[in-house]
Structure 1
Amino acid sequence: MRFKQAVPGRSLVLAGSVSLVVTAPMGWAQDEPVPSTQSLEEIVVEAGAPAPGSPLMQAAQVDVLQGAEKDRREATSLGNMLDDMPGVDTVSAGNQVGKPVIRGLSGNRVRVLSGGIGVDHQQFGTRHSPNIEPFLSDRIEVVRGAASLLYGSDAIGGAVNVAPLALEFSEDGERHSSGDALLGYATNNDQSDLGLKASSRGDRWTVAGGIIRRNADNLTVPDDPTFFPPPPSDPEKRRAPAYTGTLDYTDFDQLNGQVGVGYRAGFGEIRLRYTGWRNEQNFLLPPPAGNKPPSQGPEGVGQNLENDDIRLDARLPVDATWTVEPTLVWQNNLRQSNAAGTPRDQLFDGTIDIEFDQYTTRVEARHKQIGLLDGGRLGVAYRTRDQVSRGSTQLTPGGTVTNVGVFAFEESTIGRLTLQAGLRQDWTETVAKSSKTAAPTTFASEDENDYAVTTGSVGGAYAITDQLTLASNISRGFRAPTLFELHADGVHAGVAAVQQGNADLEAEKSLNTDLALRWRSERLSASATVYRNVIDHYIFLQDTGTTQNGLPVFSYQQTDAVLTGAELTATAQLTDTLELGTTYSTVNGENDRTGNDLPLQPADEVLVEGVWRPGHLGWLRSPYVRLGVRHNASKDAAPGEPFAQFDNAPFGTASTDAYTVADLGVGFGVGRRSGKPVRIDLSVRNLTDESYRDFLDTYKGYALSQGRNVSATLRVPLGG
């Protein structure tokens, strides 16, 4: 396998579902090609593993996104950035919302982490996207399958670990400073991005930080004909969207930043970091969800989202074998949302006003080889969350959530076989409090729910040959019900429905089984994975068949569920300049009691992508041309799932037809034969301006998915 770019030393490269670390000789320029004879000397995965090791030899499926590939895929939202990975999709609403979906599970069933510590973003809502800025990250790791062993509740479907900007130290006694400036523009919604990040590494002190502003106007979709209002008599015309062309009330304005400092001495390393995230946005509502009749045009709802966290962590070597890694994190999160029909330019009216402070303490003791154990980690985690609900609509009440977890995860290699196993115990207490809820509650004073769950994982990987590996993993996951699921009571404008909680919910428990075959050779990497995830007490919203003030009423229920699926991926270096890759993902989630589909399951998807990299062409450094085609199968909405009501509305649809879209990318560097060049990248999404609805696009009920979008980015390296 050839690598067209490598920095001196070690570099992570995403190759299909395999993350590779290659070693390039010191003195080589970053933008110079590495010879095809360059050997693959080391392969490292951190997330989801007891100790760093090869992705080929991990029991779980892990992807790593870093470096130039991360820069190319970078998007406004985390979900939109990851949805090209096999088995990973996104619940979207325009491009400012992208909620990761892993193997058919999303929201509270996918744990989003920053540097290994879970971060909450009031993810009870279908459109509530992680408050994460991809530009201000060093790398992103995706773990598929139940990952409760390491991360506790909510990792029942998988985990996304976003590593913040690196705070590394100089190893040669010299200070090294570098940075990047980003300038981006997208035509579809007139979006502009302006960002700057930099670091300065010394022997004892290191600093890093960055800031980015993202501002966008309204989305544009293909200008297809509409027939509403009034409701058309022709049934075929009822599937036409309510709105096309420019979609009002889909604009947003973000300002996000991060700053950190690290210190190294004889006792070890200590780091302090602050991250801030600010976003004001509008959502386009379906008619008639606001204050006006449909004939008077579209309406929106404005939201103000804020997130701050301060993190203090350390790496303290005890001896040559053991290292202790303590972490303390404070997170403050604010969500304010207006009544339906009140956009953000009319300020915030206090309808929904939810804020929480979350404190997390985690202490891990990592060890290298001890006897038959190659490496592992022991840990204890404590998390407490204090929430207040000040809005005039309860939606979710105030209260406290406390969790304590202890765990151990170990690895052992016997010849060609690598074994990984671990065990975890969690105790969770959820207390809803009327004293922390401004609106009237459905309970008096306090309502407490307690959950105690044991989870674990056992798996292994066997190297059949030097190129072929067979891996399998059995993991137990769990998820404690949230305050929202237990006690929701109010209009949720984002889904145009009334939602009601269920105080008798039990904890979800899953048993996930994976079987994977992985291949890696000089010119081909490929993998085939099948999985089965059995979930007891699966929590879901069910349409009650009743309405309040014209809106459908959904309540939380439980059932047993089974998800089965497959992921296929292959990347082939056909010639020295031409690479071809493809992925296929399918998942089938079924309500075990009724046989119906589970809600919000992604459609089957095939991606095919070709990349031509001719090498340096005169003053063009490492140019490329990339053409991709994505095909999604048709998909019927599950009975009673969020947005299913649009299958019976006088406009739009909740079930979607099959579609195929093409994307084009061109990029190159200019200047600098040593060090990083100035990079220019141009991409065209939905090249042919295809009219389609993506099944996980939450605007699908009353609008089309995004039309053609031409975006350009300029990245200018600063310093060394």
Structure 2
Amino acid sequence: MKIVLGIALGASLLAPFPALRAQQGGSAIVGVVTDGERAIPFVRVAVVELTRSTVTAADGSYRIAAVPPGTYSVNFIRLGFAPVMKRLTISGQEVGLNVAMVASRVELPPVQSTASTYATTAFMAPQPTTVLEGSALRTSQGASVGETLEGLAGVRSLSMTTGIGKPVIRGLTSTRVVVLDNGHRLETQQWGSDHSPNVETATANRIEVLRGPASVLYGSDALGGVINIVKPPLPDAIGQSPFYRGRLAATFLSNPRSPDITVGAEAAVSGWGVRGSLATRASGDMITPVAVMRNTSNRATNMEATAGRRGNWGSVELAAVTREERIEVYEDPVLFPSFSGFQRIAEERYSLKSSLLGGFGRMEIMAGSERNRRREYDDEQARYVALGLLSTTLIGHANYHHLPVGGMAGTIGLSLLRSDFEKFGRETLIPSSSVRNLGAYLFEQRELGRWKLSAGARYDFRGLTAGRDTVLKIERQTRRWGAATGNVGALYRLTEPVSLVLNVGSGFRAPSNADLFANGYHEGTRAFERGDPDLGVEKSLNVDLAVRAAASTFTVELAGFVNTIRDYIYLKPAGTLDTLDHAQGNARLSGFELAGAFHPTDYFSLRGTADYVRGQNTTLDLPLTFIPPMRGTLRATVQPAALRKLKSPYVAITAEAVGAQRRLDPGDVGTSGYTLFHGGAGFSIGSGAKVRSLDISVRNAFDKRYRNFMSQYKTIAHGQGRSVAVRLNFEM
């Protein structure tokens, strides 16, 4: 109810202002999309910066009305054709843009907007970027962000039960990976080993994963990479009749037994648009090939509502999210046979975004708030909170996207953050604290013939104040840091299908409250942790070199990287039983990622990935902990064009081979290698906005016993056994 009232109040407050009144003037982008000879219907044409789109008619024509002056990225996408991206400048008159698309058996990388300040295709991004969308996103959905993304090259999930899956990018996780919900930075207390991002992926339009440091654009913590969960553009009915539409997605998993339902609806009248969604899931205990893992069930309910308005002045959008989770925590059944501890998590987020357009360029302003409340209980009968953690965060940023100057297009930005933490409950681990951050940055891009160049610089002022705590024996104190970061990238098109990409970037991470002041038992590490108030800022320098190739029958990307981190913060044994100290040294992570697809015929395709990371604490000359072992996947798909009324039918088999991990920190435990087999089949019915799809998949089809190195339970439990998923999706 609070969400609905908040949306209604925001809309009513925005409506009276003259600057936001309906303006149906402006220019239009019109054109026809063909394959060189014949018209192509059902092509999605999107003006990325305006988050506006339309679909071509039967004759291939399209029209996007009320487009204000400016420079935009116009994207053309349709299955069976290579996507087309055009940069277009509008100065006040109707602009014609006819496009000829080339047939392609391969689904080429789609649009991304996370790795740069204006949209490009993922293959043209200055940093290694993967986009998960469409049917691949639909069939990859998991109960957490980590579970949803762990099939991508260079990404794993650090898991605890089915509801806790922290994304790992190139061997880095927790507060070294930034997670965005539609551009809204999340501060969901990821410092805890058993704290994963509290965000819903079932309502996403796509998920963009940027691999490698990105502090120039995203500030502190973006050492390993950035994950942006991008929601569908808010609808509008500019130049068309009012409309409404809905979506229903239902999933049932056999292991753990889990019904999962997502319902969404949206409507538009003139320049106004609204959207709402409800996602809910409830899972039972996970089953391994050996036994049932008692006390691993979870429940989650996620509600979202958004309202906004567009005109030739720009757009404004108000969004609200509320989420409730209950996650049970598994313990060693030998030592704690009746353990029934669990977590309750309540998350609320609100954001107001505006994009103002005109002859000056484009100004984006965003303000948001987040409240994340965690309560940990020792057992299911507990009446009192054992450990309570409450964070309240305010964020804001202003990005000025200037008009091209001397061929340079870029952004000048300012970001603000305030995050306050309070503890409650019977146990104490860290003190109450407050973080402040101010960052200013510049990012520019330019194309020179075969070259695509990018460069950026940023400076951050950051401070952390810890409150006086008599239990932890801490006096009130403040730490202040400053950090400069930069990024230089170059993409060179050797030939039309082949490009070389070089990127050199730096990142930083300021110490967290836990790094500095922890002094208590931490369930996530199962040890007594002690912080060090003299820790400094982590600073990284990363070098990426990649080759990318794309043609009508294949795509391939091979990327190698070396990420050197000075003053890396890690946990080291303190010489006493179950005691860990936060310490600082130097580290180096290096490795590669390979992803490719091959479509020799219209009906058969192969898709594969491989990745490897080597992490070393160079100060101690020891391997880093929880560095994922080498992995390779190969998926073979048979997909005829149609079977009577069934569209895009497919049958797929996937082999996933994971190597043994023998490079270990003395306190870590290795696992043997294993190979799992997965399968899937499905089809869709209908076309356009009314598509219905059915997908059936099975993971670990032969119920193989294995130990997952990236599981917090690898010493006491096997990995997940056979699991069958049935997914129904209705677009109405």
TM over 0.5: yes
CA contact (8 A) 1:260 1:271 kept: yes
Q: Which amino acid aligns with 1:270?
A: V
In the other structure, the counterpart of 2:28 is none
CA contact (8 A) 1:403 1:429 kept: yes
Q: Please point out which of 342, 349, 357 is paired with 1:302.
A: 342
Distance, in Å, in 2 between the alignment partners of 1:38 and 1:80 is: 35
Distance, in Å, in 1 between the alignment partners of 2:157 and 2:109 is: 32
In the other structure, the counterpart of 1:73 is 140
Equivalent residue runs for 1:307-322 within 5 Å: 307-319=347-359, 321-322=360-361
* 1:525 correspondence with 2:552: no
Q: Please point out which of 664, 674, 687 is paired with 2:679.
A: 664
Distance, in Å, in 2 between the alignment partners of 1:53 and 1:568 is: 21
Q: Please point out which of 460, 485, 497 is paired with 2:527.
A: 497
CA contact (8 A) 2:671 2:708 kept: yes
* 1:569 correspondence with 2:595: yes
Q: Please point out which of 153, 156, 159 is paired with 1:92.
A: 159
Q: Which amino acid aligns with 2:368?
A: V
Report the CA distance between 1:388 and its aligned residue: 0.6
Report the CA distance between 1:25 and its aligned residue: 4.5
In the other structure, the counterpart of 1:238 is none
In the other structure, the counterpart of 1:336 is 375
Report the CA distance between 1:484 and its aligned residue: 1.0
Q: Which amino acid aligns with 1:405?
A: G
CA contact (8 A) 2:547 2:557 kept: yes
* 1:682 correspondence with 2:690: no
* 1:388 correspondence with 2:413: no
Equivalent residue runs for 1:563-712 within 5 Å: 563-636=589-662, 638-639=664-665, 644=668, 654-670=669-685, 672-673=686-687, 675-712=689-726
* 1:114 correspondence with 2:181: yes
Q: 1:638-677, CA deviations, whole angstroms, 9 ceiling, x for partnerless residues?
A: 3355xx3xxxxxxxxx31000100110111123x355433
> For the aligned residues, what is the CA RMSD?
2.4
* 1:423 correspondence with 2:432: no
* 1:401 correspondence with 2:435: yes
Higher alpha-carbon deviation: 120-129 or 379-388? 120-129
Higher alpha-carbon deviation: 659-668 or 47-56? 47-56
In the other structure, the counterpart of 2:97 is none
Report the CA distance between 1:477 and its aligned residue: 0.2
Distance, in Å, in 2 between the alignment partners of 1:701 and 1:412 is: 51
Distance, in Å, in 1 between the alignment partners of 2:666 and 2:369 is: 37
Distance, in Å, in 2 between the alignment partners of 1:175 and 1:76 is: 35
Higher alpha-carbon deviation: 267-276 or 38-47? 38-47
User: SS at 2:205's partner residue?
Assistant: strand
Query: Structure 1 residues 570, 23: closer, same or farther in 2, change over 3 A?
Result: farther
User: SS at 1:56's partner residue?
Assistant: helix
Query: Structure 2 regions of 5+ residues with no counterpart?
Result: 1-34, 48-52, 61-75, 83-99
In the other structure, the counterpart of 1:161 is 228
Q: Which amino acid aligns with 1:323?
A: R
Query: Structure 1 residues 165, 9: closer, same or farther in 2, change over 3 A?
Result: closer
In the other structure, the counterpart of 1:649 is none
CA contact (8 A) 2:162 2:296 kept: no
Equivalent residue runs for 1:37-436 within 5 Å: 38-39=101-102, 44-223=111-290, 245-286=291-332, 297-319=337-359, 321-339=360-378, 342=379, 345-347=380-382, 349-373=384-408, 375-434=409-468
TM-score (norm 1): 0.87
CA contact (8 A) 1:485 1:501 kept: yes
User: SS at 1:105's partner residue?
Assistant: coil
Q: Which amino acid aligns with 1:382?
A: L
Distance, in Å, in 2 between the alignment partners of 1:394 and 1:588 is: 35
In the other structure, the counterpart of 1:234 is none
Q: 1:309-342, CA deviations, whole angstroms, 9 ceiling, x for partnerless residues?
A: 00001010132x5111100001000111123xx1
CA contact (8 A) 1:336 1:348 kept: no
In the other structure, the counterpart of 1:542 is 572
Query: Structure 1 residues 265, 692: closer, same or farther in 2, change over 3 A?
Result: same
Q: 1:64-120, CA deviations, whole angstroms, 9 ceiling, x for partnerless residues?
A: 122232212222111111111111111112321211111110111001112223101
Q: Which amino acid aligns with 2:604?
A: L
Percent sequence identity over aligned pairs: 27
Q: Please point out which of 437, 461, 469 is paired with 2:499.
A: 469
Q: Which amino acid aligns with 2:181?
A: S
Higher alpha-carbon deviation: 39-48 or 396-405? 39-48
Report the CA distance between 1:24 and its aligned residue: 7.8
User: SS at 1:150's partner residue?
Assistant: helix
Q: Which amino acid aligns with 1:307?
A: E
Q: Which amino acid aligns with 1:387?
A: F
Distance, in Å, in 2 between the alignment partners of 1:447 and 1:6 is: 64
Higher alpha-carbon deviation: 32-41 or 143-152? 32-41
Report the CA distance between 1:63 and its aligned residue: 1.3
Q: Indicate the structure whose relative CO is greater, using CA pairs within 8 Å and at least 6 residues apart.
A: 1
Q: Which amino acid aligns with 2:572?
A: Q
CA contact (8 A) 1:542 1:640 kept: no
User: SS at 2:653's partner residue?
Assistant: strand
Higher alpha-carbon deviation: 45-54 or 356-365? 45-54
Distance, in Å, in 2 between the alignment partners of 1:404 and 1:313 is: 19
In the other structure, the counterpart of 2:728 is 714
User: SS at 2:496's partner residue?
Assistant: coil
Distance, in Å, in 1 between the alignment partners of 2:449 and 2:423 is: 56
Distance, in Å, in 2 between the alignment partners of 1:402 and 1:33 is: 46
CA contact (8 A) 2:327 2:343 kept: yes
Higher alpha-carbon deviation: 28-37 or 134-143? 28-37
Distance, in Å, in 1 between the alignment partners of 2:550 and 2:562 is: 25
Q: Which amino acid aligns with 1:657?
A: S
Q: How many residues align?
A: 653
User: SS at 1:546's partner residue?
Assistant: coil
Distance, in Å, in 1 between the alignment partners of 2:79 and 2:203 is: 27
Report the CA distance between 1:27 and its aligned residue: 3.1
Distance, in Å, in 1 between the alignment partners of 2:400 and 2:109 is: 24
Report the CA distance between 1:287 and its aligned residue: 5.3
Distance, in Å, in 1 between the alignment partners of 2:442 and 2:426 is: 45
User: SS at 1:308's partner residue?
Assistant: strand
Distance, in Å, in 2 between the alignment partners of 1:616 and 1:594 is: 59
Distance, in Å, in 1 between the alignment partners of 2:383 and 2:232 is: 33
Report the CA distance between 1:538 and its aligned residue: 0.3
Distance, in Å, in 2 between the alignment partners of 1:568 and 1:164 is: 27
User: SS at 1:95's partner residue?
Assistant: coil
CA contact (8 A) 1:401 1:428 kept: yes
